[in-house]
Structure 1
């Protein structure tokens, strides 16, 4: 049985969560981080003292994403809306969790080869090297791997809440169209990944696919699991391939 919060899922509301200026506040740190990552050719990095370059970038991403979620939470609290209303409730049974996990794995089975193939085609015709950027940011030590896994879980929760939850809700309310909302949030999602350079266009496609998954399931939960798993597995595979 679905929870009551599911009745307030991301695509069932017609009113914006917050005024336009709040959305600007949400987008600005994302834009700054993406621009910084474009120039850094890696994750945004505050160059924190006493830690490695990669750990510093991981902590920078963690701070940025949780700061944006804090901004969203404050807006929701002001309206008397819970975070669960964007996520669409919580798992009430173990079976519900495994159902969403199965959907997440199924999504990855389809999306990962598709996105990978599109990325290869795009880079072949337009140039660039996404693998170089990914090689630079993936973990090389056990400590970096642990923090990477935490960052992956954060990306799964925070980015889905931000893009497929908050921004989709805002764009849907402003345009009166869920289709336009999914398209717009995917564009912003792609632009938020500056370290891919031209490959940001393909990340937009991933954002659209995740948006369609959220609309189909009327929940962010499968996307959160899939997004987090994709990032986590990518980091583990990169780490093990270096250790081999």
Structure 2
């Protein structure tokens, strides 16, 4: 067996075996993870809400007091961020355990089909996407500085930094693990197509974010296009690079900057970021995201000498599960 054959037998999409590979097992895994997230993962937020209600009780007959906006309005933004991120820690931990139990796949195999994580790629993705995002922000700030409110509260920002740098990479990597890792492997095993493994998780990724407050404030169409573009970009680099480390790094820095550098009215990350944008133009932001994504893919393709022809290569059917003697 030559090295090329070995590579294609152990790469990201081809590492799936026939062990519980039908679509309903994947649906069950996601369901179990969501149940764990909304029970165990919701405990910190539940404690915060109960504490808030004890300190400021409201009549149980007041329906408006139970709206999401009303319940979240009195919660400290740092506490809310930490409790939100904790739910992803639970989701990821349960996903790793269930996937191993159901499919016999380790967490590293979900990431790239091998037994080790290429951490250097994580930091390359983080650095390249981070430079592009900071550059876009700098251009926006220089062209219209009056649209940005600078606000710096040292103590609160220190706590925000600690929470963001420790929890947000887990939250972001969890989404990549599920969509560009686990679900992409499942779709590839069912369809034999890398293109479907790119498109279907990207659509599901966008739909998952349809409940975000940005969608209500700025419009379903433009925000769904934005989420789909991000999912498509991260999915494409994962297929070309045979693993999700680059996407994990890029997604992490994207959300870190959204937490610490700039926020805006209606953002899913309601934090004490350094800057708050007064006006958001989602159409303009979508155009910038398209340009950033093209440049991002181009830079990485140059660094890693990607062959785009791999996108049309068929994914072979899952081999039989190994039998233990």
TM range (shorter): 0.5 to 0.7
1:106 correspondence with 2:128: yes
Give CA-to-partner distance per residue, 1:36-72, whole Å, 9 cap, x none.
xxxxxxxxx9554247353235423432453255134
Offset of 1:159 from its aligned partner?
1.1
Distance verdict in 2 for CA 1:227–1:235, change over 3 Å: same
Asked if 2 retains the 8 angstrom alpha-carbon contact of 1:9 and 1:87, the reply is: no
Pick from 165, 174, 177: which aligns with 2:190? 174
Offset of 1:27 from its aligned partner?
4.0
CA distance, structure 2, for counterparts of residue 209 and residue 112 of structure 1 = 18
Distance verdict in 2 for CA 1:108–1:5, change over 3 Å: farther
Distance verdict in 2 for CA 1:157–1:81, change over 3 Å: same
The two structures have a TM-score, normalised by structure 1, of 0.66
Offset of 1:8 from its aligned partner?
3.0
CA distance, structure 1, for counterparts of residue 158 and residue 25 of structure 2 = 39
Greater relative contact order structure (CA < 8 Å, 6+ sep): 1
1:83 correspondence with 2:100: no
Which of structures 1 and 2 has the bigger CA Rg? 2
1:8 correspondence with 2:34: no
Offset of 1:206 from its aligned partner?
0.5
1:241 is aligned to: 274
CA distance, structure 1, for counterparts of residue 161 and residue 132 of structure 2 = 26
Pick from 144, 157, 164: which aligns with 2:180? 164
Pick from 218, 235, 251: which aligns with 1:211? 235
2:65 is aligned to: none
5+ long unaligned stretches in structure 1? 34-44, 115-139
Give CA-to-partner distance per residue, 1:117-139, whole Å, 9 cap, x none.
xxxxxxxxxxxxxxxxxxxxxxx
Distance verdict in 2 for CA 1:217–1:81, change over 3 Å: same
Distance verdict in 2 for CA 1:187–1:222, change over 3 Å: same
Distance verdict in 2 for CA 1:56–1:103, change over 3 Å: closer
The two structures have a TM-score, normalised by structure 2, of 0.51
Asked if 2 retains the 8 angstrom alpha-carbon contact of 1:5 and 1:85, the reply is: no
CA distance, structure 1, for counterparts of residue 227 and residue 256 of structure 2 = 17
Offset of 1:242 from its aligned partner?
4.8
CA distance, structure 1, for counterparts of residue 242 and residue 227 of structure 2 = 22
